[in-house]
Structure 1
Amino acid sequence: MNIKSIQPFRLLVVILLLLGIFFRFASLGERPYWHDEAHTLLRSSGYTLTEITTQIFNTQILDRDQVLKFQQLSSEKTEFDVVRSLATEEPHRAPLFYTLLHYWMRWFGNDLTSLRILPSLLSLLVFPAIYWLCLELFGLPSTGWIAIALVSVSPFQVYYAQEVREYSLWAATTLFTSAAYLHAMRSPKKLAWSLYSVSIILSLYTSLLSLLIWVGHCIHAIASQKVKLTKPMSAFLKASFLGFLGYLPWLFFVAVNLSQVERSNAWMFQPTPLHTLLESWVTNYQFIFLKRSLAGSWSFLFTTAIGLLTFLSARSLILRTRKATWVLIALLVLPLLITFVVPDLIWGGLRSTNGRYFVPCYLGIQLAVAHLFATQLKNGSNLLQKAFWRFALVSILTAGVLSCTVQMFQNRLSEDLAIASMINQAENAIVVSAEESYQGGGTIGDILTLSHLVQPSTKFQLAIQHQVPSLPNQPNLYLYKPLTYLKQNLQQTYTLQPIYKDKLFQLLPK
């Protein structure tokens, strides 16, 4: 990339960066809460599943505010309750983001827009982190600029930047930890290794899956030092020990409550046809650069093009960079793929269908693609070749901008919003539903989500598996996402009139 092209190129990146920031903060309040975000608020408010099931899934008629209570801060709950809630019931969810959100709610309230500002702000840390990592990996500022452009308008990155979950923070800590690792391996200074230790702790307390990133660093350190106890290797072991020592308290909770981890993740083991897995993988993979709905009937062509781009990027990495460089990127990608994809193929399940678990993988792919473009634009053998790669880069970035624009408006569409609007048409509606057990299931998050959307006059009557609530003799009774047992019992007394698919029925006396 010659001097004359540097300034326009940087201007383009700055424009894309500003667009990316805009997309991350645009329409934060338009998309309603969904199931997982409701669980985040439950944990960040300091409540447990046992508390909510015993207090509101008791067949009594409750006001909406009695349900919303579990989405709001209370003087009874502190940050220690946040940690206790996670440690006892969901220790696989590291507490850093939930604790940050607890303080955020305390300072700025818990309306939808203000809550989503936190992950959006945290997502901005990705930009300096990926630039630093590119400098450590490749030593080329141009690669860092292209990487910033790619993540700025990546529909995947923008989507999770707007979700009240830990994934935007995980992306930032993953990049920062890897950059700190490379910097420390080249630097004998204690400060560099101290920074790495702190980054390891932050990353592990953001996501349990960061253990795989740390394992990748261990493999990389052993390979790069040729299995010798060199000074860098010795310093790495000390820093890792301190970082891991800081994480031991939470790892203890994971070990003690392992059965709870298995129970909470039982949904992952549902048998899933291979074609469903493949379709999900393609959709998630495509989402790094392009929203599938935008591709339309051209989806296969776009997926093939992105696959070819990834292949060329991997090939360029292996051929044009030092082994230590491409191995580190491979170690961002492969451990998570092996952990989730291989078990699904061998034993069945749908672990690998959730794109949010592959945040480091997608970042690794974006790093490889950034390197490919930077290399081709700098070292292209002729003007025609450089023109082709400029066109390819502009096409990828344009697809990202269009995807984020479409996503910004599609965020306003929601199945939960459609269901709530139907319930809101009735006066003094009562929503009837049930949960599988006192340890929770799928209904709690759905009920909490719905409670944000219905009118204040709406009431709830909720039960636990096998309990059949005694319903009042009044109109406007709605059965919401019923368990089979409840549906069968109520059919003896009521006619179930479908209102929305198989998820909302109006109960009409026979």
Structure 2
Amino acid sequence: MQKSYFHWLRVLIIIILILGIYFRFINIDRKVYWHDEIITSVRIAGYTKENFSDILKKSGVIDSENLQQYLNIDSNKTFISTINSLATENPEHVPIYFVLLRWWVKLFDNSIGVIRSFSAVISLLVFPCIYWLCRELFNKSLVGEIAIALTAISPILVLYAQEARGYSLFAVTVLLSTIALFRAMRIQTKRSWLIYTASLILNLYTNLFFLSIVMGHGLYVLLVEKLRLTKRLKAYLLASFLGFLIFLPWIIAIVSDYEDTAFISQTTPFLTLVTRWFINLGFTFLDIQIGSSERLFDVRNVALDNNALLNLNTVWPYLLGLILVLILYSIYSVCQHQPKEVSLLILTFILITPINMGISDLMSGGQRSSIARYLIPSYLGIYLCIAYLLTNKLTNFTEKLWFKASPFKGIIKKNFHD
């Protein structure tokens, strides 16, 4: 009975996975190519703001024909042009994603579908990575399979798998780095720590928000080692030092020319932040914006936020409340039943980014903590917890069914009581 039950469960997981892949590619070229994606195209082409200034001085308005000129790969521009344009004008955007996307566009073409398909293809790597991490943490294949199903139909991951932005790559590299750290802590070989160092470098040059994850990794190692300067802590510190040493050229570029994006630093009322945090939790399983005729919030103009979510006469507060309870219960389940090395890693994975951003927003103003795409590592950590919880519940349920149907039930009970 158990084998049959899990067979059909795995069939369901495969169906969900196929749906997730379908959702990532369907109509990928039909959505509006918005501002941030245009900037991506300009950067991979190697152009700068100065190029735009020149054409604006001539015409005042950039028509579609002239704009296309800056979205196509110019044979006179190289990968170095892309890196230089980022380093001198947008150092907050680190170069690996843009360099890889430029290679992808040169390999195929620069149509919207092709440009976005790079993110979609990269997003498929989340599945083996989260499965691998689950095997490392829980040593149960079913946890990994359920985690694959959850990430396959995750609204936030599907959304950014269809955009010409680097968040799908960020999700993959964050998972790889966390796997590398956990393995290095477990097997403690020079090779494993070198792999972790390489993963740090990869992540630092993929997304600046990985700095929060580095802090989380450091806190994790400190807590596991009980604040003692052990062999593992020394290895972690050395790996981090080497990683940041190789990242130093970009740190210099950031210090020289970093400007916070205007919309990020907008002063946001506390109640608005809390409402957005609540909405973002919902992105774990559903996008409630689809069910609303009005825009729930606007990061470009905080004054336009619609706090209708707080209306208790609608279903949304209660639905989001249930999701919050599920998330908290799944985290509790991991902390209750897993060793400290596992639970601490997942807790830091989930909490460190929103805590860092939340404190920054509350102390100096801004809305970083309310922007869902910046919290992708937290979503991945939540999926780990929920996958573990569902595996435990399903396993216990099937064991009870098997016990009730077993012809040896009476013998087992008698021996147990004797």
Shorter-chain TM band: 0.7 to 0.9
- Once residues 209 and 25 of structure 1 are traced to their aligned partners in structure 2, the CA distance between those partners, rounded to angstroms, is 26
Describe how 1:90-489 pairs up with structure 2 within 5 A. Answer: 90-257=90-257, 260-262=258-260, 265-293=261-289, 297-380=314-397
Partner amino acid for 2:263?
Answer: W
Partner amino acid for 1:162?
Answer: Q
8 Å contact kept, 1:45–1:72: yes
Q: 1:229–1:63: structure 2 CA closer, same or farther, 3 Å change rule?
A: closer
Cα deviation, residue 267, structure 1: 2.2
- Once residues 55 and 235 of structure 1 are traced to their aligned partners in structure 2, the CA distance between those partners, rounded to angstroms, is 52
8 Å contact kept, 1:56–1:67: no
- Once residues 94 and 111 of structure 1 are traced to their aligned partners in structure 2, the CA distance between those partners, rounded to angstroms, is 23
Partner amino acid for 1:209?
Answer: F
Determine the structure 1 residue equivalent to 2:79: 79
Q: 1:209–1:274: structure 2 CA closer, same or farther, 3 Å change rule?
A: same
8 Å contact kept, 1:295–1:302: no
Q: 1:184–1:109: structure 2 CA closer, same or farther, 3 Å change rule?
A: same
Cα deviation, residue 373, structure 1: 1.0
Cα deviation, residue 352, structure 1: 2.2
8 Å contact kept, 2:327–2:382: yes
Q: 1:36–1:60: structure 2 CA closer, same or farther, 3 Å change rule?
A: closer
Q: CA RMSD of the aligned region, Å?
A: 2.2
- Once residues 238 and 63 of structure 2 are traced to their aligned partners in structure 1, the CA distance between those partners, rounded to angstroms, is 55
Partner amino acid for 2:270?
Answer: L
Cα deviation, residue 129, structure 1: 0.8
Q: 1:282–1:343: structure 2 CA closer, same or farther, 3 Å change rule?
A: same
Cα deviation, residue 269, structure 1: 2.0
Partner amino acid for 2:259?
Answer: V
- Once residues 52 and 383 of structure 2 are traced to their aligned partners in structure 1, the CA distance between those partners, rounded to angstroms, is 41
Give the secondary-structure state (helix, strand or coil) at the position aligned to 2:386.
helix
% identity of equivalent residues? 38
Q: 1:147–1:60: structure 2 CA closer, same or farther, 3 Å change rule?
A: closer
8 Å contact kept, 1:89–1:261: no
- Once residues 240 and 349 of structure 1 are traced to their aligned partners in structure 2, the CA distance between those partners, rounded to angstroms, is 29
Q: 1:51–1:61: structure 2 CA closer, same or farther, 3 Å change rule?
A: closer
TM-score if structure 2 supplies the norm length? Answer: 0.85
8 Å contact kept, 1:157–1:288: no
Cα deviation, residue 91, structure 1: 0.8
Cα deviation, residue 350, structure 1: 2.1
8 Å contact kept, 1:150–1:366: yes
Count of paired positions: 381
- Once residues 7 and 195 of structure 1 are traced to their aligned partners in structure 2, the CA distance between those partners, rounded to angstroms, is 36
Cα deviation, residue 353, structure 1: 2.5
Deviations along 1:252-275, whole A, 9 cap, x unmatched? 211222xx323xx23222222334
Which stretch of the first structure deviates more once superposed, 172-181 or 369-378? 369-378
Q: 1:169–1:225: structure 2 CA closer, same or farther, 3 Å change rule?
A: same
Which stretch of the first structure deviates more once superposed, 146-155 or 207-216? 207-216
Determine the structure 1 residue equivalent to 2:298: none
Deviations along 1:467-506, whole A, 9 cap, x unmatched? xxxxxxxxxxxxxxxxxxxxxxxxxxxxxxxxxxxxxxxx
- Once residues 362 and 226 of structure 1 are traced to their aligned partners in structure 2, the CA distance between those partners, rounded to angstroms, is 27
Partner amino acid for 1:226?
Answer: K
- Once residues 44 and 365 of structure 2 are traced to their aligned partners in structure 1, the CA distance between those partners, rounded to angstroms, is 33
TM-score if structure 1 supplies the norm length? Answer: 0.71
- Once residues 320 and 63 of structure 1 are traced to their aligned partners in structure 2, the CA distance between those partners, rounded to angstroms, is 60
- Once residues 62 and 140 of structure 2 are traced to their aligned partners in structure 1, the CA distance between those partners, rounded to angstroms, is 61
Q: Rg larger in 1 or in 2?
A: 1
- Once residues 230 and 50 of structure 2 are traced to their aligned partners in structure 1, the CA distance between those partners, rounded to angstroms, is 51
- Once residues 57 and 2 of structure 1 are traced to their aligned partners in structure 2, the CA distance between those partners, rounded to angstroms, is 72
More strand by share: 1
Cα deviation, residue 62, structure 1: 5.6
Cα deviation, residue 383, structure 1: 5.1
Partner amino acid for 1:271?
Answer: T
Cα deviation, residue 18, structure 1: 1.3
- Once residues 177 and 229 of structure 2 are traced to their aligned partners in structure 1, the CA distance between those partners, rounded to angstroms, is 22
Cα deviation, residue 58, structure 1: 4.2
Structure 1: state its 5+ residue gaps.
Answer: 385-510
Determine the structure 2 residue equivalent to 1:52: 52
Give the secondary-structure state (helix, strand or coil) at the position aligned to 1:326.
helix
Cα deviation, residue 237, structure 1: 2.9
8 Å contact kept, 2:349–2:378: yes
- Once residues 247 and 153 of structure 2 are traced to their aligned partners in structure 1, the CA distance between those partners, rounded to angstroms, is 34
Cα deviation, residue 381, structure 1: 9.8
Partner amino acid for 2:327?
Answer: T
Partner amino acid for 1:163?
Answer: E
Structure 2: state its 5+ residue gaps.
Answer: 293-313, 402-418
Give the secondary-structure state (helix, strand or coil) at the position aligned to 2:248.
helix
